[in-house]
Structure 1
Amino acid sequence: MPFLMPTRTESFVLCKQQIDARPAIDFLARLNETRPQDRQATLFHLVLRALARVFDERPRLNRFVAGGRLYQRRGIWISMSAKQSMAENAPIFTCKRRFEPSETLEQMIDGIYDILAGGRAGRESATDKEIKLLLKLPPWLLGWLTRMARRLNHWNLVPASMIANDPMFASVFVANLGSVGIDACYHHNYEYGTIPIFVVMGRLHRAPVVVGEDKIEVREVFELKYTYDERIEDGFYCARGLERLKYLLEHPSEL
């Protein structure tokens, strides 16, 4: 399949899920009773936790294609983006973190707060510093370096020192549009890097939900929308993973 569809642009599949948020909201209310006010657990944390669990349980989703070959990734790496503040002109920063299957939910939450605190305080990441340095180069040299980086990426020969800090080399990229009150949308995948899955989380809103066999209730829900590179594994395997993700988010005590 990678030779028939050599790019992510021609290999993506789109899908979406509606998640009943009531169980998660109740779970978070109990969990946050014992957490500091400035480190409250959120729905976004639960989504990240559920994704990490699914990657651990279904490792064939944690693969990527480079140069027509399929590779198994070492470790579960999730990249995410956030605004430095709620101001319209506030910059967006990106970061990535390794998620260990053995860590507890609260350890994961605290680890994410530690990473996001640096970005929201305006501290430059290693990637930010590298980009600033590159933008000082003359256009012809920057263009040549970019072409070389793309070629190395195609051959899966990007140095480990570059991959370590680059959020484009991860298992999945997650964008939380719900945090700024926006509905979920489908996001493009990137040709650069090795991310095969892009997840966008939308805002909380009220919608009809089927409860039991024949009852409908209006509940708080949110949407997750996925852009998936089907070359890493067939759609059936991915669909089972998404079913598991939805189950975990609607039964958060299992996280």
Structure 2
Amino acid sequence: MRPDGTRVKEASTIVSALPYVMPRRYDAQNFITEYADMEILRRYIQEKRREGVRIPYMTLILAAYFKAYQENPKINRFIMNSKIYQRNHFCVSFVILKTRVDGRADETSIKVFFEDGDDIFSINRKIEEAVAQNQVAAHNNNTDKFANFLFAIPILPGLLFGLVKLMDRCGLLPRKIIDLSPFHTSLFITNLASINTNSIFHHCYEFGTTGVFVSMGKPIANYMSGEYNKKMIPLSVVMDERICTGHEYALFWASLRRYLKHPELLEGDAGGASSEPVCAQA
């Protein structure tokens, strides 16, 4: 019994067999590029800004992804040791730039948890708080501290990672470590538009339980429709095809497209207080 998921036993024979046919995540990667209409999102962002709420493009995409997941929960499955699990929470990992005390630019990873009651506003608040906390120059989050300790002694990384991988395969990795790991996540996203870079197809990590990786690129013209003055945000997606069927993936992407075309649907009752940490901190 894993602390982060429940074994899926009712899957079809072909779905259950796929992790044995393709035991590695990099064997089972599928690729797709989705496009978000930048004008639709920009109008919504400007409308909310007039109301005093600043919402970034990435937050809109994350909120749309979360709502689409709620309609298609199988997208939140993962494979471990050739077995299929349904994750018992939803979280997203991403990397941010920060400035160290000595002035050097550096990166740190953040993991934010969403709940069933969350909408665009509560998701925006959670991400803002996590980013603000981790961009403080003097602040090292617990993932950073653990990594610094790990690499302080040359022989430790190989031994410890080997032990962690073994415990993960056996379902013995403690939830506290899973919550710290950015690689044990429902979704990993990177916003390459923030550094004026094109989107890429980023691999899903073999370590951990990442099932989907989304890369946001800088806006491009809508070449497919011929509306060259219309900007689109490319979303390059890498998926682990073993977690659900192609039909279920198609339903999920249809839901995501609907929310990206109608971002007002992302608003709603944000529910009560969170039972999960906003950001993975011990």
Give the TM-score taking structure 2 as reference length: 0.82
Specify which of 26, 31, 37 is matched with residue 9 of structure 1.
Answer: 26
Match of 2:235 in 1: 224
| 8 Å CA contact retained: 2:221, 2:227 | no
* Aligned positions of 1:141-180 closer than 5 A: 141-180=156-195
Over the residues paired in the alignment, what is the CA RMSD in angstroms? Answer: 1.6
1:207 is displaced (CA, Å) by: 2.7
One-letter amino acid of the structure 1 residue matched with residue 67 of structure 2: R
Q: Deviations over 1:7-58 (max 9, x none)?
A: 101011011112211111101100011226xxx2111110010111111111
Aligned to 1:182, what secondary structure does the other structure show? coil
Distance in 2 of aligned mates of 1:81 and 1:98: 15
Aligned to 2:20, what secondary structure does the other structure show? coil
**Stretch moving more, 14-23 or 141-150:** 141-150
Specify which of 112, 127, 130 is matched with residue 112 of structure 1.
Answer: 127
1:93 is displaced (CA, Å) by: 1.4
Match of 2:85 in 1: 71
Match of 2:256 in 1: 245
Give structure 2 stretches of 5+ with no counterpart: 1-17, 267-282
1:131 maps to 2:142: no
Distance in 1 of aligned mates of 2:109 and 2:72: 26
Aligned to 1:79, what secondary structure does the other structure show? strand
Report sequence identity in percent.
25
Specify which of 51, 55, 60 is matched with residue 34 of structure 1.
Answer: 51
How many residue pairs get matched? 244
Q: Deviations over 1:204-254 (max 9, x none)?
A: 2333464xxxx8463121100111001101122112211211221121111
Q: Deviations over 1:65-115 (max 9, x none)?
A: 111111110111111112226xxx621211111111212321211111100
Aligned to 1:2, what secondary structure does the other structure show? helix
1:186 maps to 2:197: no
Q: Deviations over 1:106-133 (max 9, x none)?
A: 1211111100012211311111001111
Aligned to 2:126, what secondary structure does the other structure show? helix
Give the TM-score taking structure 1 as reference length: 0.90
One-letter amino acid of the structure 1 residue matched with residue 32 of structure 2: C
The change in CA–CA distance for 1:42 and 1:134 in structure 2 (over 3 A counts) is same
Distance in 1 of aligned mates of 2:43 and 2:130: 26
Aligned to 2:194, what secondary structure does the other structure show? helix
Match of 1:92 in 2: 107
Distance in 1 of aligned mates of 2:39 and 2:20: 44
Distance in 2 of aligned mates of 1:243 and 1:82: 29
Q: Deviations over 1:155-214 (max 9, x none)?
A: 23211110122111110101111111111110011111111111101112333464xxxx
Give structure 1 stretches of 5+ with no counterpart: none
One-letter amino acid of the structure 1 residue matched with residue 238 of structure 2: T
| 8 Å CA contact retained: 1:82, 1:93 | yes
One-letter amino acid of the structure 2 residue matched with residue 129 of structure 1: K
**Stretch moving more, 216-225 or 70-79:** 216-225
Aligned to 2:118, what secondary structure does the other structure show? coil
